Amino acid sequence: MPEIEYLTPQEWADVLVKNAKPDVMAEALRAGKYWSWTETLLQCSQESDEVLDMGSGAGENAAVLALHGRKMTLLDWSERNLDFDKQLFNVLELKGRFVQHDMTQPLPFEDNSFDVVFSCGVFEYFSDEQIRGIVKEAFRIARQRVVILVPNARSIAYRLGKRYLERKGRWHWGRERPFRTLRPHFRAAGSSQVTEFCVGTKHALDFLVMRGGPTLKRLLIRFLRLTDHAQPAAFGQGYLLVTVGEKIAEGGCRA
């Protein structure tokens, strides 16, 4: 299996699950403590049954969707990540299907296998050519829609914090690249109905770790009255860009 840019499967597991504990994560998820963009994924799959998480990582997004009744398939190229995902699902007494696979290769599923196919925090490590291929495959196996979340290039706080941490040698997420849009890749895959918005403005402020950053963060949260929510971020300042492509004309996830 070829190494996706800059981080191997072992390195990804070290970043994502090395210090994580399935029981602690499960307790938080049961209490409704999860990312605002996980709520976005719930909204984008609200009338769905079978859902595929491409690049499941630590499995928290998939677990929350499973807790809300989705039949989840988790795909990741790291065996350690999938082992952690299985433990998390076991603690939560959830059923899931777990598939180890390199998503830059043809996906091991039949056409129209899932209502919704999503990926969160993965595509920023792929080339444009790889993204076009993966999105095309995602639409092949999706019945309703494809949802991709990547870092948002318009987020000032995220970009400043990322640059600072990279200069200090404290950035642990590989050489990820943020995006302004994924529309061209979705349209190349044949989706004529594409919606984009961003979420997670408050989370973007967590990247302000330089001197004076935490104070600025507190002031902005108070002044802008920021909360953790799944609504589209004002002024395009959300941490994650959400691209939703419909395979059918009706339904969908709206900004």
Q: Which CATH number covers residue 116?
A: 3.40.50.150
Is 183 domain-assigned? yes
Measure the CA–CA gap between 55 and 209, rounded to whole angstroms: 28
Is 156 domain-assigned? no
Residue 1 pLDDT > 50: no
Is 211 domain-assigned? no
pLDDT class of 13 with cuts at 50, 70, 90: low
pTM of the shown model: 0.92
Range in 106-115, 131-140, 178-187, 225-234 with the lowest mean pLDDT: 225-234
What pLDDT score does 63 carry? 98
Which among 153, 112, 103 has a CA at the least distance from the CA of 132?
A: 103
Measure the CA–CA gap between 39 and 7, rounded to whole angstroms: 28
The dihedral over CA atoms of 248, 76, 124, 141, expressed in degrees to the nearest 10, equals -20
Query: Which domain does 185 fall in, by range?
Result: 9-150+177-193+239-246
Range in 154-163, 172-181, 233-242, 246-255 with the lowest mean pLDDT: 246-255
Is 65 domain-assigned? yes
Is 19 domain-assigned? yes
Is 108 domain-assigned? yes
Is 24 domain-assigned? yes
What pLDDT score does 2 carry? 38
Is 169 domain-assigned? no
What pLDDT score does 3 carry? 39
Structure-model confidence comparison of residues 15 and 43, the more confident one: 43
Half-sphere exposure of 10 (CA within 13 A, CB side): 0
What's the one-letter identity of residue 166?
E
* 238 and 232 Cβ atoms separated by less than 8 Å: yes
Residue 5 pLDDT > 60: no
**In 10 A of CB 221, how many CB atoms?**
14
The count of domains in the chain is: 1
